[in-house]
Structure 1
Amino acid sequence: MAPSKDFHHPYQPYEIQQQFMQAVYDCIEDGKVGIFESPTGTGKSLSLICGALTWLREHKGKMFDEAMQSVQIDDDEPEWMLEHARSSKRSEALQMRADFEERLALVREKDRKTREHAAKATHLQKRRRQGNGKTDLDDAYLEQFALDDYESDKDVNSGEMSKYSAGTTDVLKKLGLLGAEDQDAKPTEMDEELKIFFCSRTHSQLSQFVGELQRARLPPGLPPGDSISTGTTSTYEEVKQISLGSRKNLCINPEVNKLESQTAINERCAELQQSKTPSEKKCSFLPNKDNQELVLDFRDHALASIHDIEDLAAVGKKLRICPYYASRSAVDPAEIVTLPYPLMLQKSARAALGISLRGHVVIIDEAHNLMDAVESTHSAQITELQLRIGREALMIYLQKFRNKLKDGNRLYVTQLVRVIDSLLLAVTQVQAVSGAGGVLDAGALLAGKAVDQINMSKLAKYISESRIARKVEGYAAHLKQTDVVNGGVEQASGVSDTPILTHVQNFLTTLANPSKEGRFFWSRDESDKSITLRYLLLNPSENFRDIVAEARAVILAGGTMSPMEDYTAQLFPYLTSASISTLSCGHIIPASHLFVRTITSDASSPLNFTYKTRSDTTLIRRLGNMLLELLPKITGGTVIFFTSYAYLSQIQTQWSADSTLTKLAALSKPLFFDSRSSSAEATFASYSTAIHSNPTRGAVLFSVLGGKLSEGINFSDALGRCVIVVGLPFPNLESPEWKAKAEFLDRQPGAKPGAGKLRAENVCMRVVNQAVGRVIRHKGDWAGVVLVDGRFGQERILRKLPGWIKRSLPEGGGSGRVRDVSEGLGEFFNERTAKQVA
């Protein structure tokens, strides 16, 4: 048997970790798409790091050797000339590498010089004057709300460069801090490194990944060379990593980062860089011709050690250079780039950050949410109230500034009013339709006069670049403050986190999408009968395809990826099975540490918590009796998941009325209920305190599948000795959205019969699997899992459980009655408790 490959794991890896790292390595080597599942608590992040970085360093070494061998000379030259040419080329390349490593090794010395430079720069800076709260109507004050002249699309630069003055653009180009379209224009000290782009949902998850990355110790990808100091040891080389984030995370200008919304921060940042902005009011932290050395210092600081996003902001503050822009200088020489979902999934966001995925490796962690994230990123909605307030605010704005609008602004503002009117016309038409909602044809939204001739993409771009949304909102707030107007405009002022016209802009973007990729819907609010218009992306594959096409390999990883057929069918329908690699790892715990059973009936009859039957008062009372039988068998914490907050509230109400809650309280286990209105952190903290004060007695936490306490919460050890799932959280298959989704999936080429229903089933079981996976967090952990519903007795449903859960399920599915499961649960806890004491 061949020895296992050394992936330089900082600990002795388990067999499943070795298997996972090998799968990651092979997937990248073969240039495939990988869908990998590794349960929570199995060291997934570290396995991803070691598998991917081992490939990266080895591949780098192979490419270096091949490049050296490719050096050729004339055929009539002697062999020693060829060897000399190759040796010279090798030494030159390694020396360049060594010089860069030495820069990183000497970064502390550079920091001293930077502080001196920053101190001089600070002395020369002028303090920005704060606003005096002036609210009178003089023209000088109101000028801030006027629109800048807007040239036609033929005369204006596109993309991020159009936001800045020519001088700023030139400096940003030279430093390589603009979008990907400017990559050819920038001089760099080093060629771009082959790299890994690692993304996850949130910055906190990325920070956890960065913490794991600090454990990695891998050998250098390139040889040290003869008598060349690389600034590294002979056994390993520090990983070069950079975290990318939004301005909201990285802005260090106190006048900008005090703003609450992402939109406001972006707009204010762009305003401070405009050519018409006085030099003393421009952002002093922006890279310019006088502080280019600071950008390189920032790059060296960023790469000298591993940083999360908060660390980079601190480095920027110390060096007094904008980390949002300066971090881009570290992308090319970095080996790992970490970034959140939104910056990866939007092509425009990647272009704005100046990153290209071509030929690189993309790893998406927590990928069980990926399809939802793609759909959410490219979907939008707008309410009737937003449309009416937005139009009113826009018309009031035009009354004041109409005469100052030149041709470019006049054209687009007129188009904007027409589009809003057209959307309001559609709202009026559906008001007369009965029902709570339905599907809308795109043509109905564009039925206004000449609206179908408007280029929605250009109009949305105009709203963004002209910043008309913020100016209209700001003027409305000014009028309210001076009591000039009231009524509807008051609701539009504030100024809000996201201006109403920005919501309009987002909705306009969806009107430019191909109709085959999504559908428009309307819904009626039962409380005030108002209408909401929504666009739902139905086909996420096309919006993810450019990532797959550009990258060398794409890996989707998560603790709960089962069932996996959703990803292949909806994200990669254009790929053959040979291009996709899948792996569902087992768990590091032995099967004996997990007790898994299904309860399909009690002494009376089957237990079916379907949407039609779950509100039956007799069924809810039988559920309470079942818990009264199970809970005394459990030591430690029990987490009980229900299908929705509304259903949990209904159960709580009935149990209060029929004394079931009193009986449950008599078990001496404190009871805690999650709710939409309560703080999840506070509920979990109270539950944890009760558990830690008496681990044997434990406590009971009633929560919701897919709710605030079903994902990202650590129910390790006594916090989660048993998880009980009541019912299956199927989406509402009768809603217009799910009907459209099912119809779309059923029509796809090669779709299985009932593909839409299958998708709903997969979504449902992924939520169940995510909740169940919360209770096992490390190799010594153990827990019981009880699945309560007649449908859990179906093989089709059980097949969608992760492999590590199915292996602890008895042959035949473990389907049983309450009494049988109660006895087995008691035996399991007695055995585990005895072993724990021993």
Structure 2
Amino acid sequence: MEQKNFHHPFQPYDIQQQFMQAVYDCIENGKVGIFESPTGTGKSLSLICGSLTWLREHKRRKFDEAMQSIEIDDDEPEWMAEYARESKRKEVLSMRAEFEQRLEKVRAKERTIREKHTSGEPLRKRQRQHALKDEQKNEPEDQFVLDDYHSDDEAVPGKDGRSQYSAETTKLLENLGMILPKQDQRSSEETEEELKVFFCSRTHSQLSQFVGELQRVKLPAGLPPEEQGPDTASAELTEEVKQITLGSRKNLCINSKVNKLASQTAINERCMELQQSKTPADKKCSYLPTKEDESLVLDFKDHALASIRDIEDLADVGRKLGVCPYYASRPAVPPAEMVTLPYPLLLQKSAREALGICLKGQVVIVDEAHNLMDAVEGICSAQISLEQLRLARESLITYLQKFRNRLKGSNRMYLTQVVRVIDSLIQFAANLEHEKAPGGTVEPGSLLSGKGVDQINLTKLVRYISESKLARKVEGYISHLRATENKSGKDEVAAQLPETPTLTLIQNFLMTLMNPSKEGQFFWSNENGATILRYMLLDPSEHFRDIVESARAVILAGGTMSPMDDYTEQLFPYLPSVTTLSCGHIIPASNLLVRTVSSDDEGSLEFNYKTRQSVSTMQRLGNAILAILPHIQGGTVIFFSSYTYLEQVRKQWNEDGTSARISSVKPTFFDSRAVSVEETFGSYSDSVSANPRGALLFSVIGGKLSEGINFSDDLGRCVMVVGLPFPNLETPEWKAKMQYLDSRAPARGVPSGSASREHAENVCMRAVNQAVGRVIRHKGDWASIILFDSRYARPKVQTKLPGWIKESLPKSNEGKGTQVAEVVEDMSRFFNDSRN
């Protein structure tokens, strides 16, 4: 059977062809898919080629179907029907060709001026820069006074987030697609929405790498050429991919007076302030387009889509054109074929609505998805400490004392209510400050049992905190006060303030109290002397469900997605089936050695919570490592289950001389919570490069060096894992999570108790898989993986390893594991063969 051409820029390996076909089929069939492709196997290119090949082919099929479905009266001759179809076809293709010609002119112009104008003046004159430069040199205290607030009038200007702009500006921004039209009635001038792929990853640096891969790909056009003839009929015409990157104001703001602010919240609120209708014209942000230069947004759209750009490129386009890239990027979303964006902009419904993103019928790809469940839970969770509550109260009282006589009725009423709510939370948390227990669960009503708090409408209060910009006003005044008292610069004082105002943290916490989800639970804990109140989401499936039900297809992809059952149970329990694929590696089998160490001469080796504490177990581990280490040529990384256990072992080894013996074999380095990851990894890397014997790095599963670090080539010729890093199941959070999972289990036909145990095992093994996946990074790489613990030999545990690691386990020892002496022989043979 002939393989499908996915237009991969290189000759794809079999596993890449398999991966691209699986992506294509998943989208075609409108499924949810979980795909695992190890690092170094070209996962990003495979995702791009599989999804965009489907997109272009689907577009061509729909075009052909539309042309054939044009209705003609039955009594009309066939030549008239054919004429009507051809006229319609030419009309559609002409519109498309005009758009493509515009983009090509932009590309040609950019090619011409790239060398001459790498940095130049904006394309329009900045008529108001002098006002912006002089703005707030000596800011008066008046700016911190709260504006009049109309508490009960839902139709008050500004309540819909639109009439903060003037009527003219609102209409302009609607027409340009920069804000949604009222009641979501789209302007007739708005560009038709293209079917597209939304590609999401955790960070902008990861998205930039993806954009670099996207630039390699050349795809055939989605629609046929406008004029067809003998020369074009067989030619495979290419068409540039139209892509746009979305980001936050922090990434895209080009106003130097705004983007230098310390936090995301400060940037957002300052941006909105500079756009309000009450702000004097000479004080508004000069990058927001006016009626006279609305064509700049259209120019920006063409420039953004003409080339594949990352977030920094997009900001540069905005600077050169002199238009805000944060707002001007929105009109480029409808005609784009690929939209790249970070996790929060996809996962938060409010963020999608603010950007005008509609996922209905679209394709969603989430990369680096091993963190997806944590990301969903993190977005929907909130916490506040007793210290932060007291600081917020102190700041509010200081603010009230200063401005009490200048605040009108609603403001004074709501500020009093905020103080009362904070007092109630402080009272509850203070009563727990000296509790001997480390933590426990909380009923929502207990948090708001203070005097008169039950009479407060939390919904209105939270809306007031948000719409009045109370957090930024209070924080700004306290910053101003400190700068005045200390006679230091405002920037210096701002740098010392928390990135998120404490009142914003309180607002987020109160939002969970407004409508506590049945899928979540409130907790308290005493951690390192601090009392913390926390709301934790226990079930992420409902919060991801609206994405799944809106999109045509959803693909979760990552280098390490095993065990995949956890995603189907935690994110998609309502789906009858989910497509899964775990790819092998592109390296030959001889380039990888995997062994589970189950025993030594003294018997079984198991690092459970009880046995790992014994001096004997720690000494036996040291002896096993000393036996294996001399045979490893290059860098070795050993992962422990926690920083606490690593310190216990290190202390014991220092006492019995094991540390000194290990250091004599290889220079030794330790991951530490007190030392930066850059410093530790840099010292280790330098030692590996300078020392023929390599070096040894001790680290921790789930620590700073267990994820996102590249241990390629000699930096990671061997990775060892000591024990299984199960989470602490005795914490209130884990007890609540397990109780919740077990309560749902019978409805799904699962025995009570097994669901929670299965999830704990999955969390443990996902962390192990993420750590060991650091060592094979490209097709020429080779390494060994040693798993210390007899439990790794159990078939159930081994089923949770990625396929490419499982395949390298020796079949002869299945279910039994390997003795230390056998591993030493295998390692010696492996390194001799690999070096030769």
Please tell me the TM-score bracket, short chain as reference: over 0.9
1:50–1:247 CA distance, 2 compared to 1 (3 A): same
Q: Report the CA distance between 1:491 and its aligned residue.
A: 11
Long gaps (5+) in structure 1:
136-140
Q: Distance in 2 between matches of 1:86 and 1:131?
A: 60
- Distance, in Å, in 2 between the alignment partners of 1:581 and 1:182 is 37
Alpha-carbon distance in structure 1 between the residues aligned to 2:109 and 2:525: 60
Instruction: Indicate the residue corresponding to 1:710 in structure 2.
Output: 706
Q: Could you tell me which residue of structure 1 aligns to residue 46 of structure 2? A: 47
Superposed CA deviations along residues 433-455 of structure 1, whole A, max 9, x for unmatched, are: 54111000111112234434544
Superposed CA offset, 1:129-163 (max 9, x none): 4467658xxxxx22111111222351235454254
**Letter in structure 2 aligned against 1:64:** F
1:658-703 alpha-carbon deviations (Å, 9 max, x no partner) = 2212111221x22121111212122222222222234x52111111
Pick closer, same or farther for the CA change 1:195–1:147 going to 2, 3 Å: same
Q: Which amino acid aligns with 1:563?
A: P
The letter for the 2-side match of 1:769 is N
Distance in 2, Cα, partners of 1:631 & 1:787: 14
Q: Which of 353, 356, 381 matches 2:355?
A: 353
Aligned residues: 816
1:385-405 CA-partner distances (Å, limit 9, x unpaired): 111121122122222323333
The SS at the match of 1:707 is: coil
Is residue 511 of structure 1 aligned with residue 510 of structure 2? no
CA RMSD of aligned residues (A): 2.5
User: In the alignment, which residue of structure 1 is the partner of 2:621?
Assistant: 623
**C-alpha separation in 2, matches of 1:395 and 1:145:** 14
Helix, strand or coil for the counterpart of 1:600? strand
Does the 8 Å CA contact 2:128/2:286 hold for their aligned counterparts? no
Structure 2, unaligned runs of 5 or more: none
TM-score of the pair, normalised by structure 2: 0.93
Match of residue 261 from structure 2: 259
Name the counterpart of 2:542. 542
Q: CA deviation at 1:502?
A: 0.6
- In structure 2, relative to structure 1, the CA distance for the partners of 1:219 and 1:655 (3 Å cut) is same
Distance 2:89 2:5 in 1: 27
Q: CA deviation at 1:656?
A: 2.4
1:250 to 249, 252, 255: 252
Question: Does residue 185 of structure 2 align to residue 184 of structure 1?
Answer: yes
Report the AA paired with residue 646 of structure 1: T
Query: What corresponds to 2:757 in structure 1?
Result: 757
Question: Deviating runs (4+, > 6 A) in structure 1?
Answer: 109-117, 227-230, 490-493
CA, structure 1 residues 11+28, in 2 after alignment: closer, same or farther (shift >3 Å)?
same
**Conservation of the 8 A alpha-carbon contact between 1:175 and 1:187:** no
Match of 2:130 among 120, 123, 126: 126
Give the SS at the match of 2:220.
coil
From the superposition, tell whether residues 589 and 581 of structure 1 become closer, same or farther in structure 2 (CA, over 3 Å). Answer: same
Question: Bigger shift: 245-254 or 461-470?
Answer: 461-470
Structure 1 stretch displaced more, 189-198 or 337-346: 189-198
Residues 254, 318 of structure 2: 8 Å contact kept: yes
Match of residue 389 from structure 1 = 391
**Conserved? CA contact 1:442–1:511, under 8 Å:** yes
2:734 aligned with 1:738: yes
The 2-side partners of 1:608 and 1:491 are apart by 52
Partner of 1:575: 575
Rounded Cα–Cα distance in structure 2 between residues aligned with 1:84 and 1:406 = 71
Q: Structure 1's 793 and 296: CA in aligned 2 closer, same or farther, altered over 3 A?
A: same
Residue 516 of structure 1: how far off its partner (Å): 1.1
* Preserved contact between residue 298 and residue 327 of structure 1 (Cα < 8 Å): yes
- Equivalent-residue separation in structure 2 for 1:515 and 1:55 (angstroms): 39
Alpha carbons 1:698, 1:718 under 8 Å: kept? yes
- Match of 1:666, SS? helix
The residue aligned with 1:173 is: 174
The 5 A counterparts of 1:729-808 are: 729-748=725-744, 749-750=747-748, 751-753=750-752, 754-808=754-808
Give the aligned partner of residue 138 of structure 1.
none
1:533 pairs with 2:572 = no
Distance 2:495 2:671 in 1: 34
Q: 1:344 to 1:415 in 2, by over 3 A?
A: same
Separation in 2, partners of 1:350, 1:459: 24
Displacement of 1:824: 1.2
- The alpha-carbon deviation at position 410 of structure 1 amounts to 3.5
Alignment partners' CA distance in 1, 2:675 and 2:113 = 51
Aligned to 2:35: 36
Q: Report if the CA contact (8 A) 1:670-1:700 is conserved.
A: yes
Could you tell me which residue of structure 1 aligns to residue 724 of structure 2? 728
| Separation in 1, partners of 2:721, 2:371 | 21
Q: Deviations over 1:56-106 (max 9, x none)?
A: 000001111111122113222222221111111110000000000000011
State the secondary structure of the residue aligned to 2:556. strand
Counterpart Cα distance in 2 of 1:523 and 1:612: 25
Flag the 1:190–1:358 CA change in 2: closer, same or farther, 3 A.
same
Q: Give aligned-pair identity as a percent.
A: 63
Letter in 1 for 2:468: S
Q: Write the deviation string for residues 366-395 of structure 1: whole angstroms up to 9, x where unpaired.
A: 000000010011111001111112112212
Alignment partner of 1:277 is 2:279:
yes
Native 8 Å contact 2:97 2:226 kept in 1: no
Superposed CA deviations along residues 610-641 of structure 1, whole A, max 9, x for unmatched, are: 22332322322221111110001111111111
Instruction: Measure, in 1, the Cα distance between the counterparts of 2:169 and 2:620.
Output: 70
**Equivalent residue, structure 1, for 2:668:** 671
How far, CA to CA, are the matches of 1:117 and 1:37 in structure 2? Answer: 46
| 2:332 aligned to which of 327, 330, 336 | 330
Instruction: Name the counterpart of 1:557.
Output: 557
> Residue type of the partner of 2:662?
L
Q: 1:371-520, aligned counterparts within 5 Å?
A: 371-431=373-433, 433-483=435-485, 495-520=497-522
AA at the equivalent of 1:629: A
* Higher mean displacement: 188-197 or 439-448: 188-197
- Counterpart residue identity of residue 679, structure 1: S
CA shift at 1:113, angstroms?
12
Partners of 1:158 and 1:534 in 2: CA distance: 30
Paired residue type of 1:584 = S
Deviations 1:288-325 (A, max 9, x none): 21221111111111111100001101111111111101
Q: 1:363 aligns with which of 358, 362, 365?
A: 365
Partner of 2:67: 68
8 Å Cα contact 1:541/1:572 also seen in 2? yes
Q: Is the 8 A contact 2:128 2:282 kept in 1?
A: no
Q: Which residue of 1 aligns with 2:697?
A: 701
SS of alignment partner, residue 335 of structure 2: coil
C-alpha change, 1:591 and 1:321, in structure 2 (3 Å) is: same
Answer with 807-816 or 762-771: which moved more: 807-816
C-alpha distance in structure 2 between counterparts of 1:554 and 1:18, whole Å: 20
Among residues 671, 677, 687, which one is paired with 2:684 in the alignment? 687
> Is the Cα contact below 8 Å between 2:124 and 2:322 reproduced in 1?
no
CA gap of 1:123–1:163, structure 2 versus 1, over 3 A, is closer
Higher alpha-carbon deviation: 305-314 or 810-819: 810-819
How many Å separate the matches in 2 of 1:270 and 1:525? 37
TM-score (norm 1): 0.93
Conserved 8 A contact 1:126-1:280: no
Q: 2: distance between equivalents of 1:483 and 1:719?
A: 52
Report if aligned partners of 2:123, 2:321 keep a CA contact under 8 Å in 1: no
Query: Matched residues in 2 for 1:181 and 1:47: separation?
Result: 40
Distance 1:566 1:468 in 2: 41
Counterpart of 1:348 in structure 2: which amino acid?
S
Distance 1:63 1:714 in 2: 43
